[in-house]
Each structure stands twice: as structure tokens, then as C-alpha cells.
Amino acid sequence: DTGVSQNPRHKITKRGQNVTFRCDPISEHNRLYWYRQTLGQGPEFLTYFQNEAQLEKSRLLSDRFSAERPKGSFSTLEIQRTEQGDSAMYLCASSLGGTGNKIRHEQYFGPGTRLTVT
Amino acid sequence: AQKITQTQPGMFVQEKEAVTLDCTYDTSDQSYGLFWYKQPSSGEMIFLIYQGSYDEQNATEGRYSLNFQKARKSANLVISASQLGDSAMYFCAMRVEETGNQFYFGTGTSLTVIP
């Protein structure tokens, strides 16, 4: 399977605990994105990496959230001191790089990690 | 500000019929891309079709076509010959050059195909 993979698929944690999610993108993709999706909504952008550099962060990404992509391959998203409002599906996506208006930049998504904070 | 609007929370279609899912967008940028994704109950987002703002012809991918009306800022998805497996959430998304690489998603349309 050469698609985007995410682990774990489900995580239940108690409020106040820290959690870490992992994303493995498609191997030749140098761009990696994290999104959050709550019930009845579309995905909301959190952050974006090009290779190992974190280039964009949404205002949704509070200081309790941190993301890394240490070698430009897999990425981790950590949430510290989880709150019930953090309960959501966390989606990772990857895409090829490139510039110019002929580049499609379609993103390929992983299956997501569903976080439940009790 | 960039925005995607999907005004149909739920749609029903008879198997083998065609269905149109609406999407309107708002951006002041001249260079942007429009995407449709399918999200089955399993949760994974599946890329369906892409339309670039400079593309003169409507995009087609198998049973999927995108009715792109630039002046009206609409990018409706047409699914022909609906199948039971098409039942899912469908999201319209936009990528705009001026805001980098993030995607803006609509709230989605739930499609149910009736046998």
C-alpha cells in the first residue's frame, strides 16, 4: 500500500493528557498537511510542511499543538493538555510540490485519527 | 477572504440517474484550483476531480464531470449513472495561490443513492 497512512486510527484519552499522532505520506510527496474535521463540517487546515520546514500554521493551532516533520518524511502532531473540544478527526494529507498554474496540487488523504477526549 | 459554499446538506438520487452537487466559491485571486473529494463512512477523503482557474474546458474523470462557470464562481460536480457505492459525503475545496497551499473546504453534501 503506497497511500498516506496514519496511526493510531482511534485514540481515547482523558482530559489533560498529551497525545501524539503519526502520519506517513506518499513517499515521493514533499508536502504534508494536517487538518481537523469535526462532525458535520469539512476539514479545517491546521498546518503545512514542505520537506522538513513548517511553512504555514492556522490560527486554529493553539500553543498546545505542535507538529514536526524531522527528516522530511513522516510527521507527528502532538496535542498537550487535551481538552474536550479537541475531540475530532485529525486528517493528514500529502501532495507533490512544484510551481506554476498548471500544477494541480491535489492532496491525498490518510484514513485519519479519531480523537475522543473524555 | 476565501470561502466555499455548499448549500445542499443532503441529496437523494435514484440508481443509474445523474445528480448535480452544487458548489460556489469566493476569492479575489485570479489563480486558484477547485477540487472535489468523496468521504465514505469509513472517513477517508478520496480525490475525485480537479479544475484550474485557467482551464478553458470543464474537467471530466470517468463518471464525474465538473461544471465550471467562472463568471458565476460555481464549480458543480455532476455524477452520471449513479451507483450505490456513490453514497457518501462530498466536499468541494479550493486552493488559492495568494494564501499558499492550504485547502478551503465546504461543509459537504451527503449523497444517498436509492436502489
Residues with pLDDT less than 70, chain A:
1, 98-104
A26 CB-contact burial (10 Å; exposed 0-12 / middle 13-18 / buried 19+):
middle
For residue range A82-95, what is the model confidence (pLDDT) as tens digits? 999 999 999 999 99
Which has more pLDDT, B90 or A27?
B90
**Residues belonging to chain A:** 118
- pLDDT, position A104: 67
For residue range B11-29, what is the model confidence (pLDDT) as tens digits? 999 999 999 999 999 998 8
- pLDDT, position A99: 63
Q: Is the pLDDT of residue B47 over 90?
A: yes
For residue A33, which residues of chain B lie inside 8 Å, CB to CB? 101-103
A31: nearest CB among B4, B101, B104? B101
What value does the mean pLDDT take over residues B64-74? Answer: 96
Is A78 part of the contact surface with chain B (CB cutoff 8 Å)?
no
Q: Min CA distance, B16 vs chain A (Å)?
A: 27
Q: Which of B50, B55, B64, B4 is nearest to A95 (CA)?
A: B50
Is B23 part of the contact surface with chain A (CB cutoff 8 Å)?
no
Backbone angles phi, psi at A34, to 5 degrees: -115, 135
- pLDDT, position A85: 95
A35, A47, A104: best mutation site toward chain B, by most B Cβ within 10 Å? A104
